[in-house]
């Protein structure tokens, strides 16, 4: 029978250390909505999403109440829209109409984000892909809850440098188009290499074509819980440190597994995966940076940061895979700047630079995330940063992502406020030397030698 200390431990995790289930995300396949008539297509999309996910918010709230654990977000991911809209959309504006339809569906359902305004162009760009990508700035400007992602490389295919160059421009254009709101459009736009098909976290969630018609993916979080556990292991050696992280990750993931199973049962939709990412929020104590500091760094960015993050990421995965048979998505530690108070403090203290963050992305589960850069950064430089990050993903057979916000009208040292989960960020300096000739070469970077395993 359960004992009191176990019950108190669980409730302390929830009440004091901010343990939560970050998101229940329903992935919905939209391929069966395809029609050559745009209005018909939009109606099909709206009907399918609103019927499949009609009970999502209610069921999420019920599960939260049953177990006394917060379920912060209820979200939807859909088939990459470039695939769905290809036969109906002849102009950028046609794609924007789909974005608005998705936005309306998200609002009517009461979910807080819908991801999948996406294109998968790791090797080549179709006409529909190009139209969708070119429509992103307008779509991000004219919708509130839609998240967009573009996968432009993989270990198997190499890097599509035409797409890299194009996305440098699109990120900048999105910033310009949403300049009146501190370029917030870019906070909903992420560029990937090796994007997973089943990621429940935004802005990069989409429902891959390898997936079933509808699927439940759950993202669990809890950096505060790991930090609290490590506080009790202060001064211990690495073996104890790793064991502590692993056990904590196991416990956190089990909660996610329970919620996922319940959500699947109550919604009548199959369970897909648990994504056991430590996802910080701007709340004090809900920080990945603070875990790294607890491990022994004065500030994130100090020498040793990459090693500390590597062990954290690995132990989180090891604890998680024991707790759930279906672990997927990104799974590991997220290191967004604006969403993590410890990261913001480290930038302000001069401890953390863009280059150090890039090194950290070699060993964490994502990439350069929610980083505000000066508004006058050129689109070529943004493309160069994307290329660097994608190359890390391609060579290391891992997912990498870039979510940069060039804040129009603001420069280094100024602060940009996004509000809510997106937080605020000091604008970080970018290396001013040019990569223009490099990113303008055009074509593809071939797949690395170790991808030829057949």
Partner 1 sequence: MNKVIITVVGKDTVGIIARVCTYLADNKINILDISQTIVSGYFNMMMITDMENATVKFTKVVEDLDVLGDEIGVKIKAQKEEIFKSMHRL
CB of 6 to partner 1, least distance (A): 4
Q: Of 41, 44, 102, nearest to 75 (Cα)? A: 102
Counting contacts by CB under 8 A, is residue 66 touching partner 1?
yes
Q: Which bin fits 442, alpha (ψ -120 to 50), beta or left (φ > 0)?
A: left
CB of 300 to partner 1, least distance (A): 29
Span of 6-14, 116-124, 147-155, 301-309 interacting with partner 1 by CB under 8 A: 6-14
Closer to partner 1 at the Cβ: 64 or 365?
Answer: 64
Instruction: Give the integer Cα–Cα distance in Å for 334 and 371.
Output: 13
Closer to partner 1 at the Cβ: 1 or 449?
Answer: 1
Q: Of 177, 178, 149, 152, nearest to 165 (Cα)? A: 152
Hey, is 193 helix, strand or coil? strand
**Residue ranges in 242-271 that form contacts with partner 1 under rule CB under 8 A:** 251, 254-255, 257-258
Hey, is 417 helix, strand or coil? strand
Closer to partner 1 at the Cβ: 6 or 239?
Answer: 6
- Determine phi and psi for 118, rounding to 5 degrees: -135, 165
Q: How big is the site for partner 1, counted in residues (CB under 8 A)?
A: 21
Farthest CA pair distance, the chain: 68
Closer to partner 1 at the Cβ: 11 or 91?
Answer: 11
Counting contacts by CB under 8 A, is residue 16 touching partner 1?
no
Span of 8-16, 226-234, 291-299, 325-333 interacting with partner 1 by CB under 8 A: 8-16
Which listed residue (68, 270, 411, 419) binds partner 1 by CB under 8 A?
A: 68
Closer to partner 1 at the Cβ: 260 or 404?
Answer: 260
Q: Which bin fits 423, alpha (ψ -120 to 50), beta or left (φ > 0)?
A: left
CB of 333 to partner 1, least distance (A): 21
Q: What is the DSSP string of 9-59?
A: HHHHHHHTS---EEEEEEEE--GGG--SSHHHHHHHHHHHHHHHTTTHHHH
**What is residue 282's DSSP assignment?**
S
**Residue ranges in 347-376 that form contacts with partner 1 under rule CB under 8 A:** none
Counting contacts by CB under 8 A, is residue 67 touching partner 1?
yes
Closer to partner 1 at the Cβ: 70 or 413?
Answer: 70
Closer to partner 1 at the Cβ: 248 or 400?
Answer: 248
Instruction: State the angle between helix axes of 161-177 and 379-396 in degrees (0 to 180), rounded to the nearest 10.
Output: 130
- Would you tell me which residues interact with partner 1 (CB under 8 A)? 1-4, 6-11, 62, 65-69, 251, 254-255, 257-258
């Amino acid at each position: 029978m359960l004992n009191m200390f176990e019950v108190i431990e669980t409730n302390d995790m929830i009440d004091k250390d901010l343990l939560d289930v970050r998101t229940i995300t329903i992935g919905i396949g939209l391929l069966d909505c395809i029609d050559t008539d745009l209005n018909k297509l939009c109606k099909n999309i709206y009907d399918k999403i609103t019927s499949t996910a009609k009970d999502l918010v209610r069921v999420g709230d019920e599960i939260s109440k049953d177990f006394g654990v917060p379920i912060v977000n209820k979200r939807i991911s859909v088939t990459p829209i470039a695939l769905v809209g290809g036969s109906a959309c002849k102009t950028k504006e046609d794609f924007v109409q789909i974005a608005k339809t998705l936005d309306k569906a998200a609002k009517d359902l009461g979910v807080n984000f819908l991801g999948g305004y996406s294109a998968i162009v790791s090797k080549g760009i179709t006409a529909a892909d190009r139209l969708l990508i070119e429509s992103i700035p307008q779509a991000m400007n004219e919708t509130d809850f839609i998240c967009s992602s573009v996968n432009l490389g993989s270990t198997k295919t190499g890097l599509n440098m035409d797409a890299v160059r194009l996305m440098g421009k699109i990120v900048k254009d999105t910033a310009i188009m949403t300049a009146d709101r501190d370029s917030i459009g870019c906070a909903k736009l992420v560029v990937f290499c090796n994007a997973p098909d089943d990621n429940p976290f935004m802005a990069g969630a989409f429902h891959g074509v390898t997936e079933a018609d509808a699927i439940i993916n759950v993202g669990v979080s809890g950096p505060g819980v790991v930090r609290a556990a490590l506080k009790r292991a202060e001064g211990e050696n690495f073996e104890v440190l790793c064991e502590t992280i692993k056990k904590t990750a196991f416990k956190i993931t089990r909660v996610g597994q329970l919620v996922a199973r319940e959500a699947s049962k109550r919604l009548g939709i199959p369970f897909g995966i648990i994504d056991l990412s430590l996802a910080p929020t701007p709340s004090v104590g809900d920080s990945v940076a603070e875990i790294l500091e607890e491990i022994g760094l004065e500030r994130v960015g100090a020498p040793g940061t990459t090693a500390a993050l590597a062990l954290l990421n690995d132990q989180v995965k090891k604890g998680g895979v024991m707790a759930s048979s279906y672990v997927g998505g990104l799974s590991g530690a997220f290191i967004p700047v604006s969403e993590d108070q410890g990261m913001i403090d480290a930038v302000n203290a001069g401890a953390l630079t863009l280059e150090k963050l890039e090194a950290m992305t070699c060993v964490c589960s994502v990439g350069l995330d929610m980083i505000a850069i000066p508004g006058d950064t050129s689109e070529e430089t943004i493309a160069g940063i994307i290329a660097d990050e994608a190359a890390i993903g391609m060579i290391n057979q891992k997912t990498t992502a870039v979510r940069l916000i060039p804040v129009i009208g603001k420069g280094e040292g100024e602060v940009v406020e996004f509000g809510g989960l997106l937080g605020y960020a000091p604008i970080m300096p970018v290396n001013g030397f040019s990569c223009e000739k490099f990113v303008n070469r055009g074509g593809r970077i071939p797949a690395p030698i170790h991808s030829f395993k057949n």
